[in-house]
Structure 1
C-alpha cells in the first residue's frame, strides 16, 4: 500500500481553501473530487457484507455493537442492520469468545 503523505497533505490544503457548500452529500462530493484517484490505489476497505464484490476488502476487526453500523447516526437508532454477514466476509482467525459461529453481525 502506498501512503503518499505529501500528496494527501497538499490535496487537503486545496480542499480546505474551497468555498464550501453546506448541503446534504457535499462531503461525498469533496471526497470524490479530491481523493478518489488517490484512494483507488492506496485505500483499505472494511466490508463485512459485500467483500466478494470488492477484492482486497477486509472484515471489521470487532463485531457490531448494539446492532448499529459505522457511520450510523447515534440520535436515530432505527437505522440498524439485522442481517447476518456472509461467513466469507467475517474474520478468519477467530477463537474462543469470538468464534466464527458467534460472529454473525459484522
Structure 2
C-alpha cells in the first residue's frame, strides 16, 4: 500500500492515477476514502469500489487492461473517448491531424 486517506489528497499526490477518485467525487458530491496499491506483478489496473448506505452495500471490482499502444493508460479509456466523440459529432466524421 502506497497511500491511504482522503481522495482530495490522493488527487494531489497521484494526479495521473486517480481518475476514478475524481469520477466518484463528481458523481456522489463527496470526497471518497482512497487506498492505492502498487503491485508490479499485475498487468492491469484494478479498481475496487465499495458504497455503503442504510439500505445496501455495493461492491464493484473493475480490471482494466492496458492499451496496446500506451500501457500507461487503460484500453477502456481510449474506447470511451472514441465513443464520446462519436456521440458529440452526431455521427459525422471527425478528422484529427492532417
- TM-score range, shorter-chain basis? under 0.3
- Structure possessing the higher radius of gyration over alpha carbons: 1
Q: Whose helix fraction is larger, Structure 1's or Structure 2's?
A: 1
| Larger RCO, structure (CA 8 Å, separation 6 or more) | 1
Q: Whose strand fraction is larger, Structure 1's or Structure 2's?
A: 2
User: TM-score, structure 1 length as denominator?
Assistant: 0.17
